[in-house]
Amino acid sequence: MEEKKQLSMKEKLDALVEESEKRKKKKFRMPRRGRISRSKMRKGYTIIMRIDDNGNVDFEKQKIIDSTYRLSTKEYHVAKKDDILSYKGKPLIIQPVKKINPYNPLDGRNETYGQKYIMARMLGDVIRMKGAGAKPLLWIIGLGIVGYILYSVFTGGI
């Protein structure tokens, strides 16, 4: 019988390196809910990498209006031009939920920058909601007036 040959540590390491080189490495794929098309990009949408309080990362696409955007968690945030990074030619913002401003590895912190922009956006959203509630009331009043005129014409009154 032949004796089993013991492999030295160097031979074992070389075998492991060869095996790992044979495996294909998976590339990162952006989740579907975070991808944006060129037409959305032209309309002002950007990819937001949202970092939750518990450390979970999620991707979403949001439109930037007046340097502000609203995440799906209902918080408003503000971004400067320098905070918008690029991922494969698409705009990307890294946004911790706790912070007002996005994380920018190239810049220091400045948390007071966006307060006035966020307040203006919040006031604008409140005003828009009031205007949307008045339209059904105007329709009801208009239909009431038309109904009264038709009733008085067909019954011979006025």
40-71 residue pLDDT tens: 989 999 999 999 999 999 999 999 999 999 99
Element of type H or E holding 129:
helix 115-154
Q: Are 47 and 34 in contact (CB under 8 A)?
A: yes
Collect all residues with Cβ–Cβ distance below 8 Å to 22 and sequence separation of at least 6: none
pLDDT level of residue 132 (50, 70, 90 thresholds) = low
Residue keyed to tokens 């490495």: 25
Using one digit for the tens of pLDDT, what is the confidence trace for 69-79? 999 888 999 98
Over residues 80-120, the pLDDT tens digits come to 888 899 999 999 999 999 999 888 878 756 666 778 888 88
* C-alpha–C-alpha distance, residues 122 and 61, integer Å: 20
pTM of the model: 0.56
The model's confidence at residue 34, banded by pLDDT at 50, 70 and 90, is confident
Say whether 114 sits in a helix, a strand or coil: coil
Domain layout of the chain by residue ranges: 32-113
**pLDDT score recorded for residue 70:** 93
Which pLDDT value is given to residue 157?
A: 66
84-100 in b/e burial notation, b at 16+ Cβ within 10 A?
A: bbeeeebbbbbbeeeeb
